[in-house]
Every structure is written in structure tokens, then in C-alpha cells.
Structure 1
Amino acid sequence: MNLQLQNKAVFVTGGTKGIGRAIAEAFYKEGARVVVSARTKEGLESWYEEISIVTGDLTKEAERERVFAEVTSHFGAIDILINNVGGSNGAAIAETPLALFHEAFELNFFSAVHFSKLVLPQMKKVGAGVIVNISSIFGRESGGKATYNSAKAALISFTKSLADEVARDGIRVNGVAPGAILHPTGNWQKRLEEDPEKINTFVDEQIPGGRFGTPEEIANVVLFLASPQARWFMGATVNVDGGQSKGNF
């Protein structure tokens, strides 16, 4: 299947590790022009020279605006925005300071809202564009930290709301909700190293597919949703989880 992504300008937030990195590499291999954001370039000296990296703290509004200005000065208009940056913090709700809820929403939710608003004027001008938001199955059901769950739930709702608003402008907005994904820099890898028996039991009991997912399996779905082959997908957030989610939707 030809995904028709050659020469598309793609911006991936949080694109140098884990799922974001797999997404960036997959677009690059499809012939797209790719730029990613990251907190730092440390450890990326041997990465693809053709994938540009813009550093910044995406929890801060001013930093997001600066990063976007750098990205567009390098690329011009963005054809495809992948709002991937995210992370988990806090503990039990009663023990988590309100500031950590604000921080989680800035990273997982408001960054996606902000970058979406920044790309919309140009996408509307040309009558085309794609936004894909990376949420989580825990945005639909409890499983992770409450700060993370809440922000990802908001992102799923935002995805549908924005999709309905801009569909007639030629812009498609969708989401992907990963389940438990194993990669070297992720929390599941740390937990597996700390207590292999517990984590292997979790996989056996909670993931019908019988294993963790891979970042590449998420990237494959993102590429499809970003391609013209998925042009009738609008406002959907697709679970990619090996059956892990308890929901039947």
C-alpha cells in the first residue's frame, strides 16, 4: 500500500525516544521530511542526520511558541502534526500536589491543544492537513496515575471536538491510544527490570495478546491515520493495545 507520504512535512513532539522516535523514523522511511521536538539532543549524535531536532520544554507556553517558530522557519508549513509528547507523574490523588496535575496537563494535554491551534491557520489556508494525538487506553479507563489518566481523557475528548470543527476545512484529526508498550527508555522496561516476575504475571493476566506492544506497532497505525488511505477517519481515537483495554469500544 502506498501511503502517499513522500515529501510531507511532519512535526513530531517528543520525537526522540520510544513511541515518538518510532513514529519519526517511520515517516522518514516513507520519504517524509521530519522534524521532532525534544528536551535535549543528548545521546542522539548517531541518529538520522536528515531528521531535524528542535529542543525545548513543552510544558511552557512561550517555549512551545518558540519551538513552533523554529520548526516552521525550517520547513515552512506543516502538513502533519503528531502530538506525541507526554509523561506520567504523581502518586495517589490525595498525596499528589495540585501543581503536578497542572504539570501533567501542560505536557500531555495543553501542548497538543497549543500546537494544534498553531498549525490550524496554515492548514485552513491550503485546505488540507492532518493532526494525530497520542493518548492512552488509560484515558478511557483507570490504570495509570490519575494525573496522566485525566490529561489523556481530556485529549481524547479534544480530538473529537477539533475533528468535528475542522473536517470541512479539509483537516483530519484522529488519535491513537496505546496500551502497554515496551521500549528501553520507558517505565515498563524499568518495572520489568525491577520485578520481572510481577510484570510477566501482569502481561499474562492483563494483555490478551500475551506480550507488550512495540513502538513500531504504534507508529504503523499513526502512519496509516496520517495517510490519504485513512481519509474517512475523523475524530476517532484507536486503541492499539493487544486487547488490553477492558472497554468494548
Structure 2
Amino acid sequence: MNLGLENNKVLITGGSKGIGKGIAKAFLEEGAEVGIVGRGIEALDQAKRELGNVFIYQGDVSKEEDRRRIFQEFISDHKRIDVLVNNAGGSQGSTTAETEIAEFEQAMQLNHFSAVHLSKLAHAEMKKNYSGSIINISSIFGRESGGKVTYNNAKAAMISFTKSFANEAIKDGIRVNSVAPGSILHPTGNWQKRLEENPDKINKFIKDEIPGGRFGNVEEVANVVVFLASDKASWVVGASLNVDGGQSRMNM
């Protein structure tokens, strides 16, 4: 695709592996200048070796001080930010009754508050140029029940934030949207581990739960993200787009 993203300055959290790394690759192929954020320097270095000309920023986005430092380092390196992709996330805990409140709080810090804070920081910079795109990677399980309850709750909050902030930020020329992946297969993900551990069970899950008949891949998510970041999506504001092969049970 040629989406007019050449020389755009793009920051992607959780960008050292999986969906985040796939998104980084897609932006690089569009000619953008890309920074990726991750907690582990080894994974960041490996991603840089694989991706090539990418900037790396080490830190834990569940911590406010790390978010501020990383963002300022990015602005210092690139002078502006055109696209923010809030991709960092994860799940922990079990059922509501068996999950400690601290795990709910951790999930909100990682999946939700990191996105809110970085979006506020990006908004303050983007509005100087009356231009920008913020894309939050949520989940179909933020739109309906499913997955671990801590993750489900945090991703639901992210989708709600996307819509409310979109209506505010568009007045400053900034579009805010979210992408809701379904079950995505990649080497470092949970689905790969489950498939290796019990292929019969997972193949039955695919047959029963995914009308498309297979797992999605990171490229299919990344293609939607770069589209949303581009002017081709200029009238898409506050949307949450499923990328799930029909897996979601919602009718909207």
C-alpha cells in the first residue's frame, strides 16, 4: 500500500514482539520513522535486528515515570509525533472471585491507564500541528465477555475511552480509533503455546469459534492499523474495528 505515511513519526508500545512488531514492520514498509517500546532490552535488540531502521525505547509503560521518560525521549529524537499506537497489554488472574484486587489494578495500569496517559501526552504535541492519529489495540473481549476478567475489564475501558477521547480530540485535528483483534497466532503468543500443548483442543476451538476457519495473523491486524493512521481513514473517528475472522458474537 501507499498510504502517504512517509516520514511520519510513529511510536508503538509493546512493539518488540507479536502484534506490536508486526505493526512496526507495516509502518516501516510505508516509509515511516518508527519507535518501539518494550520492557526487555534483549527483545528490543532482537526486534531492531529483524526490523532494521527502528528506534528502541526500554521501559515499563505500566509505570507513570517510565511513560513520561519514554515519551520525552521520543520527542527529543523525532521532534514531533504523528501516530501513537497503544499496543502494550497482557492478562493475569483467574475468575473474579479468585483474583486479587491488586491484579485488577495491575491490568488497568498496563492495558488502560498506559494508553490514557500516553494519549494525553501525544494529544498535547499533536495539536500543535492540528494533525495526528492515536490507535488503541483493544480486543473483541473488550466488546463482549471472554478472556480473563482483568483483561476483559481493562480492554472494555479502553474502547470506551477511545470513543470519548475521539470526540474531544477531533476538534484539534486528531483522530482516535481502536482495533479489536480476535484470536491472533504468532510465535510469542499464548495461542501458539496452546496449539503446541493440545492441538486437538485448539483445532476444535477454531472450528467452533472462528467462522473464518483459522487464526488471524499479525499482518492482518497491522494492515488495519496503518490504514487507520492514514488520510484514507480521514472520516473514521471513535471507531472500534474488529479484526477477527467473524469470531466476535456482537452484531455491531
Which among 176, 179, 187 is matched to residue 176 of structure 1? Answer: 179
**In the alignment, which residue of structure 2 is the partner of 1:210?**
213
1:99 aligns with 2:102: yes
State how far apart, in whole Å, the 2-side matches of 1:76 and 1:93 are: 44
**In the alignment, which residue of structure 1 is the partner of 2:153?**
150
State how far apart, in whole Å, the 1-side matches of 2:124 and 2:100 are: 36
Q: 1:57 Cα shift?
A: 0.9
The correspondence of residues 217-236 of structure 1 with structure 2, limited to 5 A, is 217-236=220-239
> Which whole-Å deviations, capped at 9, do the CAs of 1:17-57 have from their partners, x for residues lacking one?
11000000100011000001001121434223310110001
* Structure 2 unpaired stretches of 5+: none
1:88 aligns with 2:91: yes
1:21 aligns with 2:21: yes
The correspondence of residues 123-202 of structure 1 with structure 2, limited to 5 A, is 123-202=126-205
Q: Is the 8 A contact 2:166 2:238 kept in 1?
A: yes
Question: Partner letter of residue 178 of structure 1?
Answer: P
Q: 1:2 Cα shift?
A: 2.6
**In the alignment, which residue of structure 2 is the partner of 1:39?**
39
The correspondence of residues 2-17 of structure 1 with structure 2, limited to 5 A, is 2-17=2-17
> Which whole-Å deviations, capped at 9, do the CAs of 1:53-102 have from their partners, x for residues lacking one?
10001111111111111111111111000000001111111111100000
State how far apart, in whole Å, the 1-side matches of 2:99 and 2:78 are: 40
Alignment TM-score, normalising by the size of structure 1: 0.98
RMSD after superposition: 0.9
State how far apart, in whole Å, the 2-side matches of 1:202 and 1:95 are: 25
State how far apart, in whole Å, the 1-side matches of 2:52 and 2:211 are: 39
* Structure 1 unpaired stretches of 5+: none
Q: 1:13 Cα shift?
A: 0.4
User: How many correspondences in the alignment?
Assistant: 249
Q: Which moved more, 1:118-127 or 1:214-223?
A: 118-127
Q: 1:169 Cα shift?
A: 1.0
Which among 70, 74, 77 is matched to residue 77 of structure 2? Answer: 74
State how far apart, in whole Å, the 2-side matches of 1:49 and 1:214 are: 21
Question: Partner letter of residue 206 of structure 2?
Answer: V
State how far apart, in whole Å, the 2-side matches of 1:55 and 1:89 are: 22
Alignment TM-score, normalising by the size of structure 2: 0.97
Which among 53, 58, 74 is matched to residue 61 of structure 2? Answer: 58
State how far apart, in whole Å, the 2-side matches of 1:57 and 1:123 are: 23
Which portions of structure 1, spanning 4 or more consecutive aligned residues, are displaced by more than 6 angstroms? none
Q: Which moved more, 1:70-79 or 1:146-155?
A: 70-79
State how far apart, in whole Å, the 2-side matches of 1:211 and 1:183 are: 13
User: SS at the partner of 2:128?
Assistant: helix
State how far apart, in whole Å, the 2-side matches of 1:82 and 1:57 are: 15
| Identity over aligned pairs, percent | 60
Q: Is the 8 A contact 2:35 2:74 kept in 1?
A: yes
Q: Is the 8 A contact 2:2 2:30 kept in 1?
A: no
State how far apart, in whole Å, the 2-side matches of 1:190 and 1:70 are: 35
